[in-house]
Amino acid sequence: MSGEVNWFELAVDDTAKATKFYGAVLGWQTAPYEGQDYHLVTNGAAGAIAPKSAELPASRVYFQVDDLNATLAKIGELGGKPGDTFPVPGFGQIAHCQDDQGTPFSLFEQS
């Protein structure tokens, strides 16, 4: 459904500590994705724990949209910064954006 959170990435300094912490607090089980230091939550929550980086300097939330291009146009009309779209093979496409106050968020359109 459009507007629902469908993915998140927790940007952390130490993924080993974070997977242990969130495992104890929320009961999350995680698994590294393709041998990377990127840990998918495997039981319940749709998201991942990832190291902070230039690409992911802060935690990010992804919202499901039905029409990515129309949503990006609306963001621009309302004073936000629409991001460039790029494909996620086998899943759809995403765009990293900012609202009219500079808060980063991402959009996902399923293929």
Domain shared by 13 and 47, yes or no: yes
Domain shared by 72 and 111, yes or no: yes
Domain interval for residue 77: 65-111
The two beta strands, 104-110 and 60-64, are parallel
Distance set, CA 35 to CA 38, 45, 62, 77 (Å): 8, 20, 23, 41
Residue bearing tokens 């998918």: 40
Q: Does residue 13 sit within a domain?
A: yes
Q: ∠ at Cα 99 (96, 105), nearest 5°?
A: 35
- Split into its structural domains, the chain has a count of 2
Q: Does residue 57 sit within a domain?
A: no
- State the CATH number of the domain containing residue 39: 3.10.180.10
pLDDT at residue 18, rounded to an integer: 97
Query: Per-residue pLDDT for the chain (111 aa), expressed as one digit of tens each?
Result: 688 999 999 999 999 999 999 999 999 999 999 999 999 999 988 999 999 999 899 999 999 999 999 999 999 999 999 999 999 999 999 999 999 999 899 999 999
